[in-house]
Amino acid sequence: MIHIVKRKCSPTPEPVSTVKTSPGTPIRIVLTGGECTGKSTLARDLAAHLSVPWSQEGARVYLQRVNRPLTPADIEPIARLQVEFEDQAIQASGQLVIHDTDLVSTVVYSHHYYQQCPDWIVEQASVRQADLYLLCSTDLPWVDEALQRGPGTAEQRARIHQEFLFQLNRLHTPYRLVSGLREERSRCALSIIAQHFDVGEESLEPFMEPEVLTSR
């Protein structure tokens, strides 16, 4: 069941998405931030708790498919896959959709690792921006994974976090910081969502850890 969700009206206008915000289109919430900040887990947990569709992170799936270190030539295929995943979730959604990252992440990592990003990706990151971004804090421990791009030092994680802040502020898009371990992080995110959108009271019931979901 999809809970009742609608945008709240505010006497002080907030920056809003230029797409997917007209009546009848789903509200889009993006989990964003650096590596090992719990985005994918939180996206799954929120989608399960709110009974809404969610989209996977394009870069992670692409990396699993090619199974090699990434290069600048991979930036555009990653962006296209990201858009494909988002659009599939949007089409499956009635009122609300959760995205595990979007093109803002593509822009951040392109500049961070390759000092470049195709103009169309930068443009589409702005055009496709969501209704709300939940920026995941770096308070979770680093977990080494195969083909991970960064070393996971505190300095590097802090630098990337600042780059996400820069891009979100540059876009003038609404964002809030989420922190804490798994259940606490989920409660924090749900509270923020309730502050920004009218959600059914069932959505605010105590968070229960969902069953393990099989990979797509």
Question: Considering the domain boundaries, does residue 10 fall inside one?
Answer: no
Question: Considering the domain boundaries, does residue 15 fall inside one?
Answer: no
pLDDT at 188: 96
Give the phi and the psi of residue 128 in degrees, each rounded to 5: -95, 10
* Number of domains present in the structure of the chain: 1
pLDDT at 173: 94
The CATH code of the domain that includes 86 is: 3.40.50.300
For residue 122, give its domain range. 25-202
Question: Considering the domain boundaries, does residue 4 fall inside one?
Answer: no
The ranges of the chain with pLDDT < 50 are 1-4, 9-22, 206-216
Question: Considering the domain boundaries, does residue 107 fall inside one?
Answer: yes
**Cα 36 to Cα 75: distance, rounded to the nearest angstrom:** 20
Helices (H), the chain: 39-50, 58-66, 75-92, 103-114, 119-127, 154-171, 182-196
The overall pTM is greater than 0.75: yes
pLDDT at 151: 78
pLDDT at 198: 82
